[in-house]
Amino acid sequence: MAKIYKEEESKVMMLDMEVGDKLITKSRPLSKTDLYLNLMVLGIYHPMFYNVETAKEKGWKDTIFQGVIVMNIAEGLLHQSGVIANSSACLGSDKVKFTAPVFPGDDIRYELEIVSKRQRENKDWVVTFKFEIKTQNDEIAIDGLNTLLFTAS
């Protein structure tokens, strides 16, 4: 039977999880400072991300987080949970969709479900999981698949 692990309640390593098991990380609030610092580092200068009036002209209620920034911050939540601490590499992401806006003041969390887990002949493990980055309203902002490599010790 599939298990649901909540970061606040238990620590688990991905290789200890089975197909169908789920993990939910703690949530994290996103601030305008998070937005501005990430935009500066990435060199993204579209006024929709900095200026409320421009964002409203584009149909948004406020400045909006660029999707890749949300993915990066959510990936940080995944790393902080410790579940992938023993991973060796990300082999890729697939079917990534940006399905809802994220604004300063929103909280996000990372949820994943193991969809495949296989051991190679060299004893390395390859694990693929479905992920959803959700807001405080349980709205899915981003979803897709990630595949990680865990090398044999």
* H/E element, 113: strand 107-119
Instruction: Report residue 39: phi and psi, to 5°.
Output: -60, -40
Q: What is the pLDDT of residue 76?
A: 95
- Determine the Cα–Cα distance for residues 4 and 21; give it in Å rounded to an integer: 6
The tens digit of pLDDT for each residue in 13-22 reads: 999 999 999 9
* Minimum mean pLDDT range among 1-10, 84-93, 138-147: 1-10
**Lookup: tokens for 79:** 């790393």
**Lookup: tokens for 46:** 């579209």
The tens digit of pLDDT for each residue in 111-125 reads: 999 999 999 999 999
Task: List domains and CATH numbers for the chain.
Answer: 4-150 (3.10.129.10)
The tens digit of pLDDT for each residue in 54-106 reads: 999 999 999 999 999 999 999 999 999 999 999 999 999 999 999 999 999 99
Q: What is the pTM assigned to this prediction? A: 0.92
Higher-pLDDT residue of 68, 153: 68
Q: DSSP readout, 62-100?
A: S----HHHHHHHHHHHHHHHTTTTT--EEEEEEEEEE-S
Q: What is the pLDDT of residue 2?
A: 87
Asked if 146 and 93 touch (Cβ cutoff 8 Å), the reply is yes
CA 17 to chain centre: 18
Asked if 30 and 107 touch (Cβ cutoff 8 Å), the reply is yes
Q: What is the pLDDT of residue 13?
A: 93
- Determine the Cα–Cα distance for residues 23 and 17; give it in Å rounded to an integer: 9
Helix, strand, or coil (residue 10): coil
